[in-house]
Structure 1
Amino acid sequence: MKSDGQKQAACCSPTAGRRAAVGGVAAPAGAGGPAHLAREAVAIPGGSGFIGTDRPELAIDGEAPLRRSRIKPFRIGATAVTNAEFAAFVEATGHVTEAERFGWSFVFWAQVPEGYPDTRGVAGAEWWRRVDGANWREINGPGTQAEAWKPDHPVVHVSWNDARAYAAWAGGRLPTEAEWEHAARGGGGDQRFPWGDAEPNDRDHFPCNIWQGRFPQENTGADGYLTTAPARSYAPNGYGLYNMVGNTWEWTAEAFTIRSLRKEVKARLAAMKGYRLMKGGSFLCHASYCYRYRIAARTGNAPDSTTTHQGFRVVWPA
């Protein structure tokens, strides 16, 4: 397993840096989503919930310590928001995503179509390519909707601002970190993954959609997927929630922050000022370099950044 420093930036989201300050994208005028979204959400009991871990893998991310938080009952989507659900929001409100407004988004190199014009990579993470015209419809760039867009897959290329606008329209909001972890544990207590502590591998145990093989050159797709899986795939956790880890990163309501006096952590936080917290990892994670598909794992990104592996789910009052 690689060192803390080697693993910290591997598959996680590149930063677009398209806006100097955090700015909100308000819910469109007249917003008010269909009531069935909240009714169909999963009820999560309140009480004392765990957050964090005493077995951190990436201490620089602020995973430790394990602690308890009082949590009120709430409801949460059984899945991340799907393309079909996001399409209904766009049709009802006319919302234009930030990737569409800026005219580009980040696409993983293996998803860029053959013969596509030259793209620019991210320094130090050249597998992330800036693709003009990539957005939630044209996931891998112009002309790719027919092949890549699937109604039951999680929506991607959505920024934190886009996610917040959808949540407001749906009558809900993004989850806090404590709510997200409480839901992900599925009533199982202090465990590493939604299904328990059994580690996924590249051979015969595929409880979630992550990478198998050598990143970033080879993904064997042994778990059945090279990119996103349907939002309702793999076995749900104890609360009936799907893909709480792997598949797509999920935006939360909170700022990315770490309680630490270490100089290197303070420097990192200064460089990530205004970032928002994401949880759950994605289909690009692997224990050898980005072991962030654990419940306690966390990362952050600028609120206007968009990629092919960032999505979200919504919470509502109980």
Structure 2
Amino acid sequence: MRAGHCTVTDKLRPVELSACCVPSRLRAERLLSSRLHAQARPKAVRGATDGMVALAGGAFRMGTDDRSGFPADGEGPVRVVEVDPFLIDATAVTNAAFTHFVLATGYRTEAEMLGWSFVFAGDLPPALAASARRADATPWWCRVDGAHWRQPQGPGSTIEDRGTCPVVHVSWNDAQAYAEWAGKRLPTEAEWEYAARGGLDQAMYPWGSELTPGGTHMCNIWQGQFPTLNLAQDGYVGICPVKAFPPNGFGLYEMSGNVWEWCADWFSPDHHRHATSRNPVGPMDGWARVMRGGSYLCHESYCNRYRVAARTKQTPDSASSNVGFRCVRDMR
């Protein structure tokens, strides 16, 4: 590092700002607070590792400055961060896995206790879609009484033939409860992005920079005109089973599309600008948690957040028919 300049090495080793780069005491205090908060993150080391992939960790370039992104979401700037080795589920948690959890614990999800959840209108029978209460700002979402993880489209629907599909209608709180039961935890946002990139540097998607390389669909997202016409050119109108598409370079499936995935961090559009570069975590508190990866409802016309660097947020008690999760575990 030269006086007055902040650089990183060619090997992408993160460099935290030195005194010459710190413009104020506030920035230094924020950096120290972030570092201490990251070091205090609880570890999870007792969970089984079946179905998990061990990742070596290390430094990578997180975020994007690409014009296709959403600057207001805090996708940029590109910065070098480093994560410790960890294990991550190869797939989103499935209905079958969540069933084991519920049978073992008697757990009831927040949607079950509340009595309703949001379902995409296009997934409903026409009569129910016509009569359901629509969300004002996003009328393609319907409040459906009786919709929850066992009844993803409301009363009369079932998961009997969907054991290998991701569980949905799970809030962040529900996902956290499952992770604790399994001896695991939810991934930090940095861990999630490191895993999703699959070893590629600044690629747009987990498999590379083309959405459909050679005309091949690599993820489950919306094709057509949202929300009225779904051409299902990728082979799926709704949620698909896990492992329906090829894995990324780390052997992880559906890191883009299919279902949004909860992360551990509270959401902030700018916290990362002042955060530690080693094992960063989100702010200490907030009103919404981070979600990553996009879902089968994402379309480039309004929400191309199936990109690796894309991020969004939702309150931790929220649930819907396109949100799931996967877990991680620390190395012993």
| Identity percentage of aligned residues | 51
**Matched ranges for 1:252-291 at <5 A:** 252-259=263-270, 273-291=286-304
1:175 aligns with 2:191: no
Counterpart residue type for residue 290 of structure 2: L
Find out whether 1:41 has 2:41 as its counterpart: no
The answer to whether residue 138 in structure 2 is matched with residue 125 in structure 1 is yes
Structure 1 segments unaligned to the other structure (5+ residues): 1-31, 261-271
**1: CA distance between counterparts of 2:151 and 2:125?**
12
Offset at 1:233?
1.5
Distance, in Å, in 2 between the alignment partners of 1:284 and 1:187 is 26
- Residue type of the alignment partner of 2:65: D
Rounded Cα–Cα distance in structure 2 between residues aligned with 1:146 and 1:252: 25
Superposition pairs for residues 29-68 of structure 1, below 5 Å? 35-36=47-48, 38-56=49-67, 57-68=69-80
RMSD value, Cα? 2.1
Counterpart of 1:11?
none
SS at the partner of 1:126? coil
| Structure 1 segments (4+ residues) deviating >4 Å | 32-35
Identify unmatched segments of 5+ residues in structure 2: 1-43, 272-284
User: C-alpha separation between the residues in 1 aligned to 2:318 and 2:152?
Assistant: 15
CA displacement 1:172-225 (0-9 Å, x = unmatched): 100011100000011112211100101249x93311000000000000111010
Number of matched pairs: 273
Select 1:214's aligned residue among 216, 219, 225.
225
For 1:176 and 1:207, locate their aligned partners in 2 and report how far apart those are by CA, in whole Å: 25
Shift of 1:39: 3.7
290, 301, 304: which one aligns with 2:314: 301
- Counterpart among 230, 245, 249 of residue 234 in structure 1: 245
**What is the CA–CA distance in structure 1 between the aligned matches of 2:227 and 2:51, rounded to whole Å?**
38
Equivalent residue number for residue 31 of structure 2: none
Radius of gyration: which is bigger?
Answer: 2
In the alignment, residue 220 of structure 2 is paired with which amino acid?
N
TM-score (ref. length: structure 2): 0.79
Q: 2:119 maps to what in 1? A: 107
Secondary structure of the structure 2 residue equivalent to 1:49: strand
Measure, in 2, the Cα distance between the counterparts of 1:200 and 1:125.
Answer: 28
Counterpart CA distance in 1 for 2:123 and 2:311 is: 25
Letter in 2 for 1:280: G
Counterpart of 1:137 (choices 139, 150, 155) is: 150
